Structure 1
Amino acid sequence: MKKNENQYGYGMVVDDHPLVAHGITEFLTRHPMLSHAMNVQSTAAVWQTIADQSEPAIILVDYWIGDESTSEFIQELRRRCPQIRVLGISGDARRQEITEALQRCGAHGFYGKNESAQRLFQAVQVLLSGAEWFTPEKAPTPRAVPRDIPVSARNLGLTERQGQTLSLVLEGKSNKQIAQELGLSEHTIKEYVSAIFIRLGVSNRTQLIQAMHGRSVQ
C-alpha cells in the first residue's frame, strides 16, 4: 500500500489464536489510516517487536491470552508507551464486565469478535482520531436485568478457597490479582484454577465463564 499523509503508522494484533489474528491483521492491512499491520501471539512479543522496530500507532489485544487476562499488560503498555492507542478485543459473552475491566486498565476501546467488520473499521478510525470506542453495536432494549442464580462452592464440588478464586476469576481478575486479594501465592492460585477447570469440565477461562453464565458463587 502506498503511504500517504493520512496514515498514522502501523497496526499490531495480539492474539494467541493464529487464524483469528491472521484475519484481523489482513483486515487492518487494508485500513487507509494504517501503513501496514502485523500480529504476534504473546504480550512478550509485543515488547520485543517495539524494541526491534518502532511503536505501532494502534494495538488490538485479545483480553484473554491463554488463561490470563491482559489487563496488567495494557496498564504497563499505557505507562511505557502512552502514544499507542489500545483496542481490547474479545469473543467473551460477558461484554459489560470486559468493557469495565478494559476501561479500568486504560484501554481506549472495545470490539467484540462477533461484531461486524464495519464496526472494527470504525473503531480503529475513532481510536486513531483520538477518541474512545466502548459503544455496543446495538443499544439493548430496556428490560429487567436477570439476576444470577447463587450457587455455593460446595454445590460445585469446590473448597471454600476454590470458590473464592472462581468468583474472582469471573470478575476478570488475573492469577496475580487474585493472589494479592486473597493473600496467597500465585502458584497456589494457579493450582486452584486448574482444580476448578477439572471439576467444571473446562479447559480455559472463556469456557469457564460460559459454563458459569447465569450463576454466581456465594
Structure 2
Amino acid sequence: MSGTRPPLTPMRSAIPRSSPGGILIVDDHDLVRLGVRALLQAQESPSGEGVEIFEADCLAQALTIYERFASSIGLVLLDLALPDTQGLSAVSQFHERHPDARIVALSGAGTTSLAQSAMAQGALTLGASAFLPKSANLKEVVSFIRACGLLGSDVVDGLAGAAPPSARTTRYSRPSYSRAWRSLTASQVRVLQLVLEGRTNKEIAQLADLQEGTVKNYVSTILLLFGMRSRAQLISSLR
C-alpha cells in the first residue's frame, strides 16, 4: 500500500450480542472486502439481527481490532497474501496471538487442486479452522459462514445452504507435518506449490524469479523437512 491511509473503522451493529457473532474480514483489496461485506450485511444472524462486520487491510490492523473486539468476533476471514505477511505467516502469527480465534484462511495461490490442498494443509496445521480458495465465489463463502452457525437460514438470490466441498473437506482435520510447515520460508512455500503443480526446476526458477540452483536447494530442503526421498513421494504424501 502506498501513502498514508486512514484506519479502517470497524462496522458495528447497535444491538449488543450475548455471544460472538461478528465477522472480521482481513484483505488488502477494497473490492474483496466490499463484496463480502455486502453479501454478509444482506444476511441475518440466527438471532435475527444484522451481521456485525469488522474490517482490516493488513495483519497488524487485524490483530489490533481482534484484541479490542474479541468478545464480539466469532470468525476471522484471513487472506494469506497481505502486505505485511509472507506465505502462511498470517495464520501462524494470528493463531499465536489469539489461539482461541476461529480463523478461515483465504488464498488465491496455487493453480491446481493439489497445490490448493497443500496450502490448505499448511494453513490448518498452523492454526486455521478451515481453508477456502479464492476461486470459490463470494456466495459460497457466505454459505460456508452460514454452516458455521453465524448466519440465519434464509437465502438470497438462490444461495446454496450447504458449505462448498472445499470447506467440508478441510474444516475438521489437522494434518501432520506441522514442524515441516512451520519451518518453510515464504519462498519455499511458493516453490512447494509449484512442485505440486508438476513444474520442473527450470520452470519454477522462471515463475518464482529465482536462480535454478536456488530452486534445487529449496527442493532438497523441502524434501528433507518433510522426510521424503523424491518429488513423487512428496506429491503423493501431500494429496
The TM-score, its normalising length taken from structure 2, stands at 0.52
Aligned to 1:46: 62
Determine if contact 2:205/2:215 at 8 Å carries over to the other structure: no
| Match 2:37 to one of 14, 25, 32 | 25
Determine if contact 2:201/2:215 at 8 Å carries over to the other structure: no
Is 1:57 the counterpart of 2:110? The answer is no
Distance 1:158 1:57 in 2: 40
Determine if contact 1:153/1:163 at 8 Å carries over to the other structure: no
Is 1:150 the counterpart of 2:200? The answer is yes
What amino acid does structure 1 have at the position aligned with 2:70? S
**More divergent stretch after superposition (56-65 vs 46-55):** 46-55
Determine if contact 1:3/1:35 at 8 Å carries over to the other structure: no
What amino acid does structure 1 have at the position aligned with 2:214? Q
More strand by share: 1
Determine if contact 1:63/1:89 at 8 Å carries over to the other structure: yes
Residues 46-195 of structure 1: pairs in structure 2 closer than 5 A: 46-55=62-71, 56-66=73-83, 68-69=85-86, 71-92=88-109, 93=111, 94-128=115-149, 135-136=165-166, 148-152=198-202, 156=206, 158-159=210-211, 162-164=214-216
Q: Secondary structure at the match of 1:61?
A: strand
Distance 2:204 2:19 in 1: 56
Q: Secondary structure at the match of 1:87?
A: strand
Q: How many residues align?
A: 161
State the shift of 1:147 in Å: 7.1
Is there any run of 5+ residues in structure 2 with no aligned partner, and where? 1-12, 151-162, 170-195, 226-239
Determine if contact 1:85/1:108 at 8 Å carries over to the other structure: yes
What amino acid does structure 2 have at the position aligned with 1:36? E
Q: List per-residue Cα deviations over 1:155-199 (Å, max 9, x = no partner).
A: 85853553257759xx8xxxxxxxxx8xxxxxxxxxxxxxxxxxx
Determine if contact 2:24/2:77 at 8 Å carries over to the other structure: yes
Distance 1:158 1:70 in 2: 16
State the shift of 1:126 in Å: 2.9
State the identity %. 15
Is there any run of 5+ residues in structure 1 with no aligned partner, and where? 140-145, 172-180, 182-218
State the shift of 1:70 in Å: 5.6
| Match 1:14 to one of 19, 26, 30 | 26
State the shift of 1:97 in Å: 2.3
The TM-score, its normalising length taken from structure 1, stands at 0.57
Distance 1:152 1:50 in 2: 43
RMSD: 3.9
State the shift of 1:8 in Å: 3.5
Change (3 A) 1:58 1:70: farther
Q: List per-residue Cα deviations over 1:28-70 (Å, max 9, x = no partner).
A: 2333236311211100001221334435211101121138446
Change (3 A) 1:77 1:154: closer
Q: Secondary structure at the match of 1:136?
A: helix
